[in-house]
Structure 1
Amino acid sequence: MNIKDIVNRDIVNLTNCESEPIHIPGSIQPHGFLLGIQKGASRIEFCSANSADFIGIAPDKLLGKQISDVFPEEQASRFALYAGAEAIDSAKPFVFTLNGVSFNTTVHGSGSNVILELEPFPDGTLHLPNLYNQTRNFVSIMEKSSGLLDLCQEIADETRSITGYDRVMIYRFDEQYNGEVIAESRREDLVSFANQKYPHTDIPAQARELYIRNPLRMIADINYTPVPLLTIDDSADKSNHSLDLSLSILRSVSPMHIEYLKNMGVGATLTISLLQNQKLWGLIACHHYAPKLLPHYTRLSALLQGHFLTSQIAVREVAEEYNISEEVDKALTEALTLLHETENFTEASHQSPWLLKLANATGAAIYHEGILYTNGLVPSDAELIELFAFLSNAYPNQTFETDHLSDVYPSAKDISKYAAGVIYHSMVSGEHDGILWLRQEKIETINWAGNPDKAVLQNEDGVRLSPRKSFELWMEIVKDKSSPWRKSEINAASSFSYALQKHINYRVIRAQEDQNRSLNEELRLANKELSNLNWISTHDLKEPLRKIQIFASKVLDREDPDLSVQVKDSVERMRFAAEKMQMLIEDILTYSKAGSMDKVFVLTDLNEVLRDVIAELQDNIDEKGAVLRAGKLPSLEIIPFQVHQLFINLISNALKFVKADERPDISITASMVDAAAIPTEKNAVGHYHAIAFHDNGIGFEAEYESRIFDIFQRLHPAHKYPGTGIGLAICKKIMENHKGFIGAKSVFGEGSVFTLYFPVA
């Protein structure tokens, strides 16, 4: 039988550690031994090379054997039930006993395999923890700790008491996964690491992923020699080339991490993950300066401390945020009250301290219609206006917040004293209008555990890169940054900005209403004057014209023999002009009434309207010898007298504008059309009743199709075709009253078609 190891021998240094496959090292730590079997079976497929050190059986005697060949039958049967359960309880390991030695056996699944990690009891006993006392202590700690940092310190002290490590630290990660020591419990002779920061490169991404999957990790002796994992060499079987040890307790550690710990002078470690929303919030990191093997149940007691702390992180953070948000909400309420009670919002920005307190800002500014209003500590007006212009162009109709303005704004360093961080909301009232909350620069000294820029050093051989050796305190001074904005402050700023925009919009609307009210009053007076003009037209002008016509007729009738031809012609012209003027006044009055009279709609049969119109025009029809044909017309909701006038005008025009020595031929048709059939009217929608008047008259040029309905528009000489040019304008006005349209098509010298479009109800 050929046996091979599955050790991962890829060369690893800091140039490729971000991609190091640390979950498949192919080796373990030597304080226990490992067996691997396939799921649903008991044949040993993997074995660590140190099995003989614990049970006196070498790997070549284990590989290929059944579990029952190694351990007593009764234990093998119980293990088959334990490992075959739907969920293996890794917190309560299975106990194998061989040659009088008991082994805590931690079991977990790994792909198609089941991993058994066997550790002898350090002193032959289980050392079960007193969970009642541990829980009672935590409840006492939780009640007396005032904030999250106090709670972390208490947990660090309690964890050190339980485990006996020389140093216990609680890390918290920032957005970039730089770690900061926020609590520490240590031996008095050790140098404190409290408040020191460690760069994100100290814990690569794949290591952070394993901390999420496996919340507890122990290294019993930094100077251990990795024990290779062995398997039967079967070149046909590709599945035994590696073994995923992500959940393993004994898994061997990356040589880069071992070198890092050696550089720190650490002898043994225990690490417990602190998770929030499936993300790594922080770590409980335990350091010992000599080898230290922690029993299984003591490790679980330490892990329980991590669970206790994890359960409180969100609660404490929410409580701290709530206390701040209460103050912020109070300030927002006061600011909004002042805004709504003050006629001029500028007073609210100038006089109200609440405008600053609602976002815990040191300054605020509003830029509205070219005027700047400020509150608190702010840069100069010119610098503020330049900042507003930049933000409005970079974030149009948006909101923006940052605690490091110089990241996006080149001139920010010049105003960091006032505006290292900003909350910005644009406003749509004018160019560059917006509102800003400002925070002063908060110069911060960061205590790094060694220079983060030298976290990677070149080895003495000049070839390999390795972790830094120096962990002496290295201070970095950070400028041009403000304290970060909290969510409650950002939300309060948004609420105020929204209310301010509504306030401005309301004032604009109110000013527009005042302007419209003034214009309406002017329009009312103008309409009154027009009504007076109509009165003058109908009464005061008609009477003099009537007298002119009467006296002219008398002169012509009575004095005719005594008048010269020239006088007769002048008097005749005078009488004709008076008649023309009277006709014009009548048409103007009709046009005016078409738009001003009450619009009472009545369901009316258009066939009856047409019969009345024909009866009224019968003398003219007979005189012209006209032929008039009409199809069946619909019944519509109309203003009857206006549609009567409409038909009168269109048929009269067809009778009037006829070629010499030709009888008028008029036909009237009705149909249903879609809005698309009215190409000249873009506002037409839906369906329409189309009433078309066809004639064989003189027609007109196509260029006049849109102008023919303008008032006083005449296309033919008055001496040949008398009229005022108002008739078709009246027709258009009537169709507008009916929410419809009128159109005209013509071929000059051949005739015209005038079509009325009444919307279908």
Structure 2
Amino acid sequence: MKLKDIVNREIVNLTNCEQEPIHVPGSIQPHGFLIAIDADFVIRYTSANVNDFSVLTVEEVLQKPIEVLIGTDQLAEFRYYINHLQDRVTTPLIVNIENTQFQCVIHRSIDLLICEFEPVSEYIPRVSTVYDQAINFAKYMGQAMTLQQLSHSVATEIRALTGYDRVMVYRFDKDYNGEIFAESKVDEHEPFLGLHYPHTDIPLQARQLYIKNLLRLIVDINYTPVPIFTKENATNESLDLSHSTLRSVSPIHVEYLKNMGVGATLTISLIHEGKLWGLIACHHYSYKYIDHYTRIAAQLQGHFLTSQIQVREMAEEYTVAANINKSLETLLNLSFAPERASLQDLVKQTQILEIANAGGVAVVLNDIVYKAGKTPDDKSILKITAWAKKKASKGFYSTSSLPEHLPEAQEWCATASGILYYQLGVVHDETIVWFRPESLEEINWSGDPEKAIVKDANGLSPRKSFEKYQQIVKCRSHEWTKTEQTAASTFSYSLQKFITLILLTEEEARQRELTKQLKESNLELENISWISTHDLKEPLRKIQLFSSRLLDLDKNISPDVSNTLKKMNASANRMQRLISDITNYSKIRHSEKSFEAINLQELIEKVKQGLHEEIEEKNATITTQNLTSVTGIPVIVHQLFSNLIGNALKFNKEGVPAMINISQSKEPGLSPEPDDARLYTRITIADNGIGFENEFNDRIFKIFTRLHTADKYEGTGIGLALCKKIMQLHNGYIFAEGVKNEGATFSLYFPV
């Protein structure tokens, strides 16, 4: 049988370590051995050091059933353990191989079972150890007031339990830079507490693996990796060791630890709300092995700590939140007049800065800035809000390092290194923004973060220097907390309502002023109408009287003078009709007569009597169909039909008897306008006159609009405009359709 190892031999350095497949190294650490079996319990993979722990060689194990290794007497127990295997088993199976006991930890990997064997340690913790741990944790959990104090107690407990030289609680920031948050160490080693480490020290795929496998052990940093073998041409040559304890370590990480002078490590993941909150990192400066039970006991301490993260963080924020909420409550209870001047009074309230722990605040409305505290100038504030509006998600944006995103903000570091922005409205660009000055922060790095990657004769490698490096961070403010953001959001919502009230009040004032101006205009129009009715008609009557007398008295006047007098008389008549039509048009709007049922058939008969002479002159025939009744003002509806029938008589074809048909729909129908859901009675007045082109069907209803010259068809251009005004007064519609030289149809819609 030909064998092949599955060692990943890709060259790894800091140019490609972010893509390093660290979960499939193809090798393990030598303090135990590994096999992988299939569903039939046949060994498909084995580590090269199987012979170091048994009398069997790799060739004698591969492709053989598991009982070859563990014996038939343990097969039933082994199968039972497998059948009851869960995703995360903490209790190992004790297996006897060649009179040596091994702790066997098994987990599933796709369609294989990975079995890791480690010799049983001489020291196995008593069952009561876990109980003692829980008691101790409960004790110092009650004594620790802060999360940092609790973390220090956990570090101390784990060091006492495991015997490592140094135990650190390592906390990540939002960019995954790390900070030594708590530490317990032997006296002779220098402290690392408070030191920061750049995110490059723990690359992305390593962080992802820490989430999958919560415990990581390196017994000897100087170990020689043990390759894993399988049968040549096997279908699955790689082996996913994400959950393996024996998994070999990335050479980059090994070199990193060597540069630190570390000999052995134990790492426990701290998972909070599904994310990697931090690590418990245990360092020893020589070879260090701890058994499975001690690892689990240490991991239990990590679980204790993560269970308290949210509780402790909330407790630490409680006092701050209480003060903020008190200021917010005071602020929301303040009362101001709904006017723009109040905005300046509002921003001057000290509570508006307290709710966000800000140095300054500005409210912007129509590019006018109302500000208080330490802020940039008005022009700069408008630049900031315009930029933040583009960056905002759902009207919100915050940052503690504005110059990193907006380079020109470097000049505003003293007042606006951090901003908290809320958009209050779109129409008037209403916004509120809180400002924070820079908070000069001293960060103590474990080595220069700018030299986290070192270039030497061998290429790129992890940094070799971990000497304390002090960095002063400028142009960065304190982070905006969730409590501050929530309080600012609540106030912003209240401010938005207040600004809306201001705008409504201003709009109401504008409407009052417009109403006042409109009343004055209407009064002037009424005065003009009065003048038209009385003062203008009187001189016209005199003109008509004098011209008629001259024509009657002097029979010897020349034809030219006679024609001139006749034209003058006709013009005066047209002027008088125009004044009467204007007066009627203006009166329609002021009609206060009550609506009542109108018998249309009777109304048409009255109209015909009034137009008797015109009907005889045009030899007209007027027919009606289905006429019942409508609701309206009788006098005005009479004028409506009189105008429409009179129009049909006026615009008939010369020499052709006029035919006018007036009909009413049998059943009410829907409105001609799509947005109107009411029912209407439709009445049509159709004639066989000269008609018109349909492109003018809207234009003919405009006042003073005529399609023909006055010398051919008399009129003032007000008649149809008056008809539309009457229909509007009755909450109805009027439409016209025409065919040139064939006739016109007017449709009236009266609401039912």
Q: TM-score range by the shorter chain?
A: 0.7 to 0.9
Q: Is 1:736 aligned to 2:732, yes or no? A: no
Structure 1 residue 161, shift from structure 2 partner: 1.3
Q: 1:755 to 1:289 in 2, by over 3 A?
A: same
Structure 1 residue 620, shift from structure 2 partner: 3.8
Structure 1 residue 47, shift from structure 2 partner: 2.5
Distance in 1 separating the partners of 2:713 and 2:71:
128
Equivalent residue for 1:317?
A: 313
Structure 1 residue 546, shift from structure 2 partner: 8.6
Of the structure 1 ranges 497-506 and 267-276, higher mean CA displacement relative to structure 2 is found in 497-506
Q: 1:177 to 1:583 in 2, by over 3 A?
A: closer
Equivalent residue for 2:74?
A: 75
Q: 1:441 to 1:647 in 2, by over 3 A?
A: same
Aligned positions of 1:713-752 closer than 5 A: 713=705, 721-744=713-736, 750=741, 752=743
Of the structure 1 ranges 609-618 and 711-720, higher mean CA displacement relative to structure 2 is found in 711-720
Q: Which amino acid aligns with 1:729?
A: A
Structure 1 residue 642, shift from structure 2 partner: 3.1
Distance in 2 separating the partners of 1:185 and 1:740:
89
Distance in 2 separating the partners of 1:178 and 1:7:
31
Task: Please report the TM-score for the alignment, with normalisation by the length of structure 2.
Answer: 0.88
Structure 1 residue 190, shift from structure 2 partner: 0.2
Distance in 2 separating the partners of 1:485 and 1:635:
73
Equivalent residue for 1:758?
A: 749
Equivalent residue for 1:306?
A: 302
**Deviation readout 1:622-675 (Å, 9 max, x if unpaired):** 343212344445765554443332221111222234455543233346679999
Equivalent residue for 1:238?
A: 235
Q: Is 1:31 aligned to 2:50, yes or no? A: no
Q: Is 1:510 aligned to 2:505, yes or no? A: yes
Distance in 1 separating the partners of 2:406 and 2:109:
51
Residue 338 of structure 1 aligns to a residue whose secondary structure is: coil
Equivalent residue for 2:11?
A: 11
Residue 139 of structure 2 aligns to a residue whose secondary structure is: helix
Aligned positions of 1:226-305 closer than 5 A: 226-231=225-230, 233-235=231-233, 237-239=234-236, 241-305=237-301
Equivalent residue for 2:484?
A: 489
Distance in 2 separating the partners of 1:365 and 1:454:
41
Equivalent residue for 2:119?
A: 120
Q: Which amino acid aligns with 2:290?
A: L
Residue 471 of structure 2 aligns to a residue whose secondary structure is: strand
Of the structure 1 ranges 121-130 and 418-427, higher mean CA displacement relative to structure 2 is found in 121-130
Q: 1:245 to 1:692 in 2, by over 3 A?
A: same
Aligned positions of 1:129-528 closer than 5 A: 130-231=129-230, 233-235=231-233, 237-239=234-236, 241-338=237-334, 340=336, 344-349=341-346, 351-381=348-378, 383-388=380-385, 390-391=387-388, 398-426=395-423, 428=425, 434-459=431-456, 462-528=457-523
Aligned positions of 1:562-581 closer than 5 A: none
Contact 1:5 1:229 in 2 (8 A): yes
Distance in 2 separating the partners of 1:146 and 1:421:
30
Structure 1 residue 269, shift from structure 2 partner: 0.7
Q: 1:159 to 1:609 in 2, by over 3 A?
A: farther
Q: Is 1:666 aligned to 2:671, yes or no? A: no
Structure 1 residue 56, shift from structure 2 partner: 3.2
Residue 446 of structure 1 aligns to a residue whose secondary structure is: strand
Contact 2:732 2:751 in 1 (8 A): no
Q: 1:326 to 1:574 in 2, by over 3 A?
A: same
Contact 1:692 1:753 in 2 (8 A): no
Contact 1:442 1:483 in 2 (8 A): yes
Equivalent residue for 1:43?
A: 42
Distance in 2 separating the partners of 1:714 and 1:450:
92
Of the structure 1 ranges 511-520 and 387-396, higher mean CA displacement relative to structure 2 is found in 387-396
Distance in 2 separating the partners of 1:394 and 1:124:
60
Residue 246 of structure 1 aligns to a residue whose secondary structure is: coil
Distance in 2 separating the partners of 1:729 and 1:103:
106
Distance in 2 separating the partners of 1:216 and 1:314:
22
Distance in 2 separating the partners of 1:381 and 1:108:
64
Count of residue correspondences: 748
Aligned to 1:693, which of 685, 691, 700? 685
- Indicate the RMSD between aligned Cα atoms, in angstroms: 3.9
Q: 1:249 to 1:627 in 2, by over 3 A?
A: same
Structure 1 residue 480, shift from structure 2 partner: 1.1
Q: Which amino acid aligns with 1:259?
A: E
Distance in 2 separating the partners of 1:493 and 1:121:
59
Distance in 1 separating the partners of 2:669 and 2:689:
28
Aligned to 1:651, which of 645, 650, 675? 645
Aligned to 2:586, which of 589, 592, 596? 592
Contact 1:674 1:686 in 2 (8 A): no
**Deviation readout 1:584-636 (Å, 9 max, x if unpaired):** 55434432332221375556564554344335434542343212344445765
Structure 1 residue 268, shift from structure 2 partner: 1.0
Distance in 1 separating the partners of 2:253 and 2:394:
49
Q: Which residues of structure 2 form unaligned runs of 5+?
A: none
Structure 1 residue 85, shift from structure 2 partner: 2.0
Distance in 2 separating the partners of 1:519 and 1:499:
30
Q: 1:98 to 1:642 in 2, by over 3 A?
A: same
**Deviation readout 1:429-472 (Å, 9 max, x if unpaired):** 8877643311111122222211222222234xx24432222211
Q: Which residues of structure 1 form unaligned runs of 5+?
A: none
Q: Which amino acid aligns with 1:325?
A: A
Distance in 1 separating the partners of 2:271 and 2:630:
76
Structure 1 residue 341, shift from structure 2 partner: 6.1
Distance in 2 separating the partners of 1:353 and 1:705:
66
Of the structure 1 ranges 2-11 and 333-342, higher mean CA displacement relative to structure 2 is found in 333-342
Distance in 2 separating the partners of 1:82 and 1:393:
59
**Deviation readout 1:31-86 (Å, 9 max, x if unpaired):** 222222113x2322322222333233333333333333443534220110110125
Distance in 1 separating the partners of 2:542 and 2:377:
81
Contact 2:261 2:285 in 1 (8 A): yes
Q: Which amino acid aligns with 2:75?
A: A
Contact 2:338 2:505 in 1 (8 A): no
Contact 1:349 1:373 in 2 (8 A): no
Distance in 1 separating the partners of 2:113 and 2:654:
112
Structure 1 residue 277, shift from structure 2 partner: 2.5
Contact 2:671 2:677 in 1 (8 A): no
Distance in 2 separating the partners of 1:50 and 1:720:
119
Q: Which amino acid aligns with 2:511?
A: N
Q: Which amino acid aligns with 1:83?
A: I
Distance in 2 separating the partners of 1:617 and 1:382:
74
Contact 1:212 1:280 in 2 (8 A): yes
Residue 180 of structure 2 aligns to a residue whose secondary structure is: strand
Distance in 1 separating the partners of 2:693 and 2:238:
93
Q: 1:549 to 1:479 in 2, by over 3 A?
A: closer
**Deviation readout 1:502-540 (Å, 9 max, x if unpaired):** 323322221221232233234335445655666676688
Distance in 1 separating the partners of 2:661 and 2:143:
101
Of the structure 1 ranges 65-74 and 309-318, higher mean CA displacement relative to structure 2 is found in 65-74
Q: Is 1:101 aligned to 2:97, yes or no? A: no
